[in-house]
Amino acid sequence: MILAGLCDLLDGPVARRQNRVSTFGGFLDSILDRYADLILFLGLLVYYTRVNRFLYAVLVGAAMAGAVMVSYAKARAESLTPKSEVGFWDRPERLVLMILGALVNRMPVVLWILAIGANITVIHHIVNTWKLTRDAPLPQMPSQGQGARPAELRSPSVPPSVSREVPETRPVLSRTAGRGG
């Protein structure tokens, strides 16, 4: 965990120093960070399951859900608002706490803190995003004459050739599924 945390702290500064920062690199780094989090929690889940500590296994699940949801809530909030800097339990704080818990053999205490704290941070993101977006105007849907409606609003019973909208595109599998291939 210490080595993974150190690498995670250094990857951004190294990319910036080498002038190799990219939008995709940031995206990929976020995805890999989520997998790294989940692998740590999965290891704890397997351990507590093998030693028949059901309550701790459930606690790992709650902490894991909180960790994933903190990341998701922050990313989703930032897609709607300029910045979402609320709460405390982002990845660096979670990782430091897990390292400390492992070093002093107090992982159950750490899991309680993460299970409660991370989920409170999710609630904080929800409340903050609600406050920032509650007075924002709703996005406008195109009217009938301005173009096609989104696929989820089209009536599935009306064939595309009958409606005067842009033809619906479907995956290749759904077109060939009834023809045996």
- Structural domains counted in the chain: 1
Q: Which two tokens stand for residue 2?
A: 């210490």
Q: Report yes or no on 83 lying in a domain.
A: yes
Tens of pLDDT, residues 130-175: 999 988 777 676 665 555 545 444 444 444 444 444 444 444 444 4
Residue 61 pLDDT: 96
Q: Check which CATH number belongs to the domain holding 27 and give it.
A: 1.20.120.1760
How much is the average pLDDT of 36-62?
95
The CA-based dihedral angle spanning residues 57, 60, 62, 63, taken in that order and rounded to the nearest 10 degrees: 170
Mean pLDDT for 8-15 is 81
Query: Which domain does 114 fall in, by range?
Result: 2-133
Question: Is 19 domain-assigned?
Answer: yes
Return the SS3 of 82. Answer: coil
Q: At residue 38, does pLDDT exceed 90?
A: yes
pLDDT tens by residue, 63-113? 999 999 999 999 899 889 887 788 888 888 999 999 999 999 999 999 999
Please report, for residues 44, 54, 143, 179, the alpha-carbon distance to residue 168 in angstroms, rounded to integers and kept in the order given.
46, 49, 18, 19
**In whole angstroms, what is the distance from residue 118 CA to residue 50 CA?**
25
* Residue appearing with tokens 């009536």: 155
Q: What's the pLDDT score for residue 159?
A: 46
Whether 177 maps to a domain, the answer reads no
Q: Find all residues with CB under 8 Å of 119, minimum gap 6, and list them.
A: 62, 65, 66, 69
Residue 63 forms part of a structural domain = yes
User: Is the predicted pLDDT of residue 52 greater than 90, yes or no?
Assistant: yes
163/181 Cα distance (integer angstroms): 28
Between helix 91-103 and helix 23-50 the angle, nearest 10°, is 30
State if pTM tops 0.85. no
Q: What is the pLDDT of residue 70?
A: 94
- The C-alpha atoms of residue 170 and residue 127 are separated, in whole angstroms, by 37
Query: Is residue 34 domain-resident?
Result: yes
pLDDT for the residue numbered 172: 43
Q: Is residue 99 part of a domain?
A: yes
The answer to whether position 86 is within a domain reads yes
Q: Does some domain include residue 169? A: no
